[in-house]
Amino acid sequence: MTAIGIHDIEVATGHHVVNLTELAEARGVDPNKYIKGLGQDEFSFPAPDEDVVTMGATAAHRLLERTGAEGIRTLLFATETGVDQSKSTAVFVHKLLDLPGEVRSIELKQACYSGTGALQAALGIIARNPGERVLVISSDIARYELDSPGEPTQGAGAVAMLVSADPALVEIEPASGVFSEDVDDFWRPNDSSTAVVDGGLSITAYLKSVEKAWKDLEQHGGPSISDVAAFVYHQPFTKMARKAQAHLAAFTGTELNDGALDTGSVYNRRMGNSYTASLYSALTSLLHHEDGLTGKRVGLVSYGSGSVAEILTGIVRADDATRRGFRDRVLGMLDSRVRLSVPEYEGMHEKAMPSAEDTETAAVTKSPFRFAGVRGRARHYERA
């Protein structure tokens, strides 16, 4: 059978950064609650001329500079921060990337899970047409109300993956474990720019889903857990990955590689929650920071509130030096974000979602693409 998987991967994030020690002080909270209790140091915050389209296009642009766009006939864009009720984010990105007309461009939604749904769809398309490649983009902006429990877990980020036959980076294995259940743990109504969340329920629903998806994977020919060298998880906050791994270890009665929880969370600790992109920025962090993974199996644990979960496994193909070689570029991108004071962030938080009324957007972002504004009630994007 042809090996199919992730040929290359890239991360992008927002222009600004908010420091969680400063936010804790402003909220009258011990900073260790955020840094140790949640496992978060900072979060990215987009400039007014950035959104999921510009972040997704930026990640994809950097990826395609390395790989070229030949063979791409499908662009799948996963997000729960859609910018229009009808037109997909994928169509905007298709234009920004100058892709040829002969491409199917679609947006997928199921909370933080849909990046994994997009990856599965890509694997299926390539199984039928091994000469094609699929561009999968996950991009989100996590927003909660000011001074709410979710506030320190906000964030912004995008991950682009080129999925192909004979992949250079990670071969995805055919077996996967899935689980769906209708739960009101987290959602965002159409008239709200911030998410509604039942924090306690969201954590128990996540843990239950991991257990159910793992059992389903076992029943569908998945590997023994002792043959998985490292797991990466959807990380609404990085401590959640620790909770999920502890649960997985307990109900399977296995000792798991806890060191991978650190190497798999370097970027997420600094970007915050990026919903659909979170699992894949965790995978990127693991691949860039965990040595000795070549030829070994990794587990990918995906959870999207509402809820859908899936566990995939893959075999790492790229060598340590190649994977490590990408680390400094991502760290440099995170270092170069422009810091916001808490009052500056609060002011931007209140007007972060532009309305559908006509408006011109101030030029701020240093990314290659920007959201130019709304004309005739239609969104316009341009090269920055």
- Is 186 a binding residue for ligand CAA by CB under 6 A? The answer is yes
* DSSP characters over 67-125: H-STTEEEEEEE-SS-S-SSS-HHHHHHHHTT--SS-EEEEE-BTBTHHHHHHHHHHHH
Length of the chain: 384
Binding segment for ligand CAA among 63-71, 145-153, 314-322, 332-340 (CB under 6 A)? 145-153
- DSSP run (H or E) holding 337: none
In whole angstroms, what is the distance from residue 118 CA to residue 106 CA?
Answer: 10
Burial per residue of 12-43, b for 16 or more beta-carbon CB atoms within 10 angstroms, e otherwise: bbbbbbbbbebbbeebeeebeebbeebbbbbb
Cβ atoms within 10 Å of 103's Cβ, excluding its own: 17
Q: Which of residues 251-270 bind ligand CAA (CB under 6 A)?
A: none
Q: Which stretch binds ligand CAA (CB under 6 A): 31-39, 62-70, 128-136, 308-316?
A: 31-39
Q: Which one, of 168, 165, 157, 74, lies nearest residue 121 by Cα? A: 74
Active site residue 102: no
DSSP state at residue 234:
-
> Binding segment for ligand CAA among 36-44, 221-229, 285-293, 372-380 (CB under 6 A)?
36-44
Query: Which residue among 38, 260, 261, 266 contacts ligand CAA (CB under 6 A)?
Result: 38
Nearer to ligand CAA, 114 or 284 (CB): 114
For ligand CAA, the nearest residue by Cβ is: 37
- In DSSP terms, which residues pair with 161 in a beta bridge? 9, 136
Q: List binders of ligand CAA among 328-357 (CB under 6 A).
A: none
Residues 192-211 touching ligand CAA, rule: CB under 6 A, are 197, 199, 202-203, 206
Which position among 10, 80, 107, 310 bears the catalytic label? 80
For the bound state, the minimum distance from the C-beta of residue 94 to ligand CAA, rounded and expressed in Å, comes to: 27
User: Which is nearer to ligand CAA, 275 or 369 (by Cβ)?
Assistant: 275
Number of residues that bind ligand CAA (CB under 6 A): 25
Compose the 270-299 pattern: x for residues touching ligand CAA by CB under 6 A, - for all others. ---x-x------------------------
* Residue of 78, 45, 50 whose CA lies nearest to 382: 50
Q: Is 360 a catalytic residue?
A: no
234 as an active site residue: the answer is: yes
Least separation in angstroms between CB 111 and ligand CAA: 6
Do residues 158 and 281 touch, judged by C-beta distance below 8 A? Answer: no
| Burial class of residue 133, CB neighbours in 10 A (0-12, 13-18, 19+) | buried
CB 364: neighbour CB atoms within 10 A?
16
Both structure tokens of 315: 């075999």
Residue 149: CB minimum distance to ligand CAA, A: 4
Nearer to ligand CAA, 103 or 196 (CB): 196
Q: Which residues are catalytic?
A: 80, 112, 234
Which residues of the shown chain bind ligand CAA in the complex (CB under 6 A)? Answer: 30, 32-33, 36-38, 112, 149-150, 153, 186, 197, 199, 202-203, 206, 234, 236-237, 239-240, 273, 275, 303, 305
